[in-house]
Amino acid sequence: MNTALVELAAVSKTFSGQRVLDDIDLEVERGEVVCVIGPSGSGKSTLLRCVNRLETPDSGRVVVAGVDLTDPDCDIDAARRQIGMVFQQFNLFAHRNVLDNCALALRTVLGLKRTEAERKARDQLEWVGLADRANAYPSELSGGQQQRVAIARALAMDPALMLFDEPTSALDPELVGDVLTVMRRLADAGTTMIVVTHEMGFAREVADRVVFMDAGRIVEQGTPAQVLGHPRVERTRDFLQRVSVSG
């Protein structure tokens, strides 16, 4: 039996005639940190969103922790408990305070009692360094704090896999560091992570593997040293050159 935690086989997705994902194969082992890089519009977000079926592939198979998400009979709500997701725009629940944001799914999805759910939520907030903001509303927090709450909210469910879609792209530069620090600690703790990012420093330092996408295809993948240091493919070289010039 295959040991990969995530297995994408021949995944394709078309949006209004445009082939956004073109026959993607990707496996992620338990404990592995995979960073996905590539130009805007190359399909990185779509790929990530197929992994928890926020997008449904047109064809191909997506298997996470042994559950085939592309099976129409699969219990997608149960499968998603295993998969935490962190969005570029944070997407904290605007009408609930920080503690409730983290405790909501514990109560409604896992059925924990309020006290138990809030204890777990507090633990996670402590872990991202925001225990003192438990009663604040999202609008009262900085972007960096909101994103750390979003990470705590996802972690509270104790997922087997964490997905990050450009978690620092909406942040002021001085707030990026705090979020990356939390993610680095998460990686050090052995969490399986797929991270779409433009932070090449983070990818070089934390990733076990870097995947370069262009035009809906995986063009090149390998260790950070290989892909970022000695890219074999012309398109990867172009992209990295552009990023390093602008960044």
Partner 1 sequence: MADPNGHAVRSGRSPRQRARRRRAIQYVALAIVIGVLAFMADWPTIGHTFFDPALILNTAAHGLWRALWNTLVYSAGGFVIGLAAGTLLALMRLSEVAPYRWLATLYIEFFRGLPALIVFIALSLLPLAFQGLAMPFSPYGTVWAALGIVGSAYMAETIRAGILAVPRGQIEAARSLGLSPAQTLRQITLPQAFRLMIPPLTNELIMLIKDSSLVFIVGLSAANFDLTKFGRAAANNHVNITPLVVAGLGYLIITLPLSIVVRRMEARAASGRRA
Ligand X SMILES: Nc1ncnc2c1ncn2[C@@H]1O[C@H](COP(=O)(O)OP(=O)(O)OP(=O)(O)O)[C@@H](O)[C@H]1O
**Chain residues that interact with Mg ion, rule: CB under 5 A:** 45
Q: Under the criterion CB under 6 A, does residue 101 sit at the interface with ligand X?
A: no
158 contact partners, CB below 8 Å, separation of at least 6:
none
Cβ atoms within 10 Å of 100's Cβ, excluding its own: 18
CB of 54 or CB of 76, closer to ligand X:
54
89 makes contact, choosing from partner 1, ligand X, Mg ion, none, with CB < 5 to 8 Å by partner type, with: partner 1
Q: Under the criterion CB under 6 A, does residue 20 sit at the interface with ligand X?
A: yes
Angle at 166 between CA 224 and CA 10, to 5 degrees: 70
CA distance 139 to 88: 16
Q: Under the criterion CB under 6 A, does residue 44 sit at the interface with ligand X?
A: yes
Q: Which stretch binds ligand X (CB under 6 A): 37-45, 100-108, 128-136, 238-246?
A: 37-45
Residue of 81, 184, 204, 217 interacting with partner 1 (CB under 8 A): 81
CB of 26 or CB of 117, closer to ligand X:
26
87 makes contact, choosing from Mg ion, ligand X, partner 1, none, with CB < 5 to 8 Å by partner type, with: partner 1
Q: Which of residues 33-52 bind partner 1 (CB under 8 A)?
A: 52
Binding mask 124-163 for partner 1 (x = CB under 8 A): --------------------------x--xx--x------
Nearest to 35 by CA among 172, 203, 152: 203
Q: Which stretch binds partner 1 (CB under 8 A): 31-39, 74-82, 203-211, 237-245?
A: 74-82
Strand 18-28 relative to strand 161-165: parallel, antiparallel, unpaired? unpaired
Strand 33-37 relative to strand 209-214: parallel, antiparallel, unpaired? parallel
Q: Which stretch binds partner 1 (CB under 8 A): 62-70, 89-97, 193-201, 238-246?
A: 89-97
b/e for 64-89, b at 16 or more Cβ within 10 A?
bbebebbeeebeeeebbebbbbbbbe
Q: Under the criterion CB under 6 A, does residue 197 sit at the interface with ligand X?
A: no
- Cβ atoms of residues 108 and 71 within 8 Å: no
Q: Under the criterion CB under 8 A, does residue 54 sit at the interface with partner 1?
A: yes
Q: Which stretch binds partner 1 (CB under 8 A): 1-9, 17-25, 80-88, 122-130?
A: 80-88
List residues near partner 1 by CB under 8 A: 52, 54, 77-78, 80-81, 83-85, 87, 89, 91-95, 104-105, 108-109, 150, 153-154, 157
List residues near ligand X by CB under 6 A: 15-16, 20, 38, 40-46
